Chain A
Amino acid sequence: MLSQKDIDQTLVKLAADVISQNSSSKAKDSLVLIGIHRRGVPLAKRLKSIIEKKIKRDLPLGTLDITLYRDDLDTVGHLPVVKNTYIPFDLTDKSVILVDDVLFTGRTIRSALNELAEFGRTRRIQLAVLIDRGHRELPISADYVGKLVETKNDEIVMVRLKEIDGSDEVVITNARHKGAMALQRQKPLARAVKVK
């Protein structure tokens, strides 16, 4: 659906939008980027380098792992791997750009907002995503969208990035596809009955 070139161009566009929306000196001076694990992290890094070239200034970058704030830990079966949250600066009065690859149900972003609140009272939090695929389950929307894609609820949007997957591309697959099922792995584990 998106090639490497498309992804590059989309990120340049997103970076330009972020800069123009944060042109006031207050916003500019307090701008920080936070990437959500896993694929939001490399995307945030790429945005950082594009924006830094334009504004000629260093931009603080943090990473956020929302696993411990998920609302479905009781039902995911085996627990997801906890990755590093690393925010080496105070978030008080910062203008945060939260970065993720795909915006879908909105639950990840809900978790991220709760977690960010523990790091200080930010000036503002905005959301930047590469893909918005619809099907929200919470009243959440993105401030910067790379590409709006119409999908069916059971389709899977896979963002592959060089840093993690070896190549850049975005593909949509049908959930019934075998490989896709293995990737999703979200089926709740049946609660078995103990045999006494």
Chain B
Amino acid sequence: MTSDNKFTWTHKHLLGLENLTAREISHILDTAESFKEISTRNIKKVPTLRGKVVVNMFVEPSTRTKMSFSLAAKRLSADIVDFSPSTSSLSKGETLKDTARNIEAMGIDIAIIRHTAPGTPHMLSRIIDASVINAGDGAHEHPTQGLLDIFTMREQKGRIKGLKVAVVGDIMHSRVARSNIWGLTKLGAEVIAVGPPTLIPQEIQDMGVKIAYDIDKVIPEVDVINILRIQLERQRSKFFPTVREYARLFGINSERLKRAKKDVMIMHPGPINRGVEITPDVADGAQSVILRQVTNGLSVRMAVLYLVSGQPKSEEIE
């Protein structure tokens, strides 16, 4: 899995997988493959981003992604500063734009941003000179999660082309689903979105995705089941009658998995609602790669930080 030496990465930001080519996505995955080794060393650090400043701007809660980016930046020897909205001037009414410009005035190279509003990272990338990495913007995209999911599938299955992947659950509110779909379809996998009709937007078919409402019909034919979290915090109105009913109709349990392929792979981006979208025995079972995903997230984020850092700080706008 070595990259072609002639390929050059030209993006200063990572805003989503929608605007990347299959070639570019593969290049990130190949680069991440090389970074995996660093985490196995005694001294888990390389000097690549020494003197560079990375800021974590998480305007929405996060454990995994934020820690993963922090660790990734530290393994590359960058200095990382955290910004949290509740203890910042955002709570005094400062606009995000002003906050970002002020932070940039202190001299930062890479801004990692998570926000409830879709498009926030794109907006920031136009007003600041630093590289911007989208760590989740509303229900739009979460590119590094999509990348680490695809990386884990490729690592475990040896390929992406021709894989059948079911993405199960709340597709409508899921940025993870959207990034998975963009990336997987570009690389030639077949994606089936499964869930209650109220949580699957019909337009998703335009992204080249099949829709199914009965999980038991889909389970026997897929290689990967990527289970989404039921995002109670994003559901303003009720999309299904009760959590118990959802668990009964769509929850992945060992009974359902009896009809699955022997080597089916179970994924979940976390945090998991045990007993809702996935039962504990499946989440902790032999087919689950949930913790592997977290480990791989580090390599993928190191690769992304490395790649975006290679671009000149200012780019000409045509």
Contact = CB atoms under 8 A, between A and B. Distances in A.
Interface of A: 38, 65, 68-69, 73, 76-79, 81-86, 114-115, 118-120, 189, 191-195
Interface string B96-109: 00000000000000
B36 to A, nearest CB: 9
A118 B42 contact: yes
B126 to A, nearest CB: 10
A82 B35 contact: yes
A194 to B, nearest CB: 4
Contact of A118 (B2, B45, B76): B45
Interface of B: 2-5, 7-10, 27, 30-31, 33-35, 37-38, 41-43, 45-48, 76, 129, 303, 306-307, 309-317
A82 B312 contact: no
A68 B43 CA distance: 14
Given A79-B9, A82-B306, A118-B43, A191 B35 contact: no
Given A69-B46, A86-B37, A194-B316, A78 B5 contact: no
Contacts of A195: 316-317
Contact of B315 (A118, A119, A120, A194): A194
Contacts of B315: 192, 194
Contacts of B311: 78
A81 B7 contact: yes
Nearest to B5: A81
7 closest pairs, A vs B, by CB?
A79-B310, A194-B314, A78-B8, A68-B46, A82-B34, A68-B48, A118-B43
A192 B5 contact: no
A195 to B, nearest CB: 5
Chain B contact residues, majority secondary structure: loop
A84 B8 contact: no
Contact of B2 (A79, A83, A114, A189): A83
Contacts of A82: 31, 34-35, 303, 306
A73 B310 contact: yes
A69 B45 CA distance: 11
Nearest to B33: A84
A192 B311 CA distance: 11
A115 B45 CA distance: 10
Chain A contact residues, majority secondary structure: loop
Nearest to B2: A83
Given A73-B48, A78-B9, A193-B314, 13 more contacts: A68-B306, A69-B46, A76-B310, A78-B10, A79-B307, A79-B309, A79-B310, A82-B303, A83-B2, A84-B37, A118-B42, A191-B312, A194-B317
Nearest to A164: B5
A191 B41 contact: no
A167 to B, nearest CB: 17
Given A68-B46, A69-B46, A79-B307, A119 B313 contact: no
Contacts of A81: 3-5, 7, 27, 30-31
20 contacts: A68-B38, A68-B47, A69-B47, A79-B310, A81-B3, A84-B2, A84-B37, A85-B34, A86-B37, A114-B47, A115-B46, A118-B41, A118-B42, A118-B43, A189-B312, A192-B312, A192-B316, A193-B316, A194-B314, A194-B317
A119 B317 CA distance: 44
A118 B46 CA distance: 9
A65 B9 contact: no
B128 to A, nearest CB: 10
A73 B46 CA distance: 13
Contacts of B46: 68-69, 115
Contacts of A120: 42
A77 B310 CA distance: 7
Nearest to A191: B312
Contacts of B312: 77, 189, 191-192
Find the residue from A69, A86, A115, A194 having the highest chain B CB count within 10 A.
A194
Given A68-B48, A82-B31, A82-B34, A192 B43 contact: no
B305 to A, nearest CB: 11
Nearest to A78: B8
A35 B213 CA distance: 54
Contacts of A84: 2, 33-34, 37
A119 B42 CA distance: 7
Contacts of A83: 2, 34
Contacts of B45: 118
Contacts of A86: 37
Contacts of A38: 5
A189 B313 CA distance: 11
Contacts of B2: 83-84
B47 to A, nearest CB: 6
A78 B35 contact: no
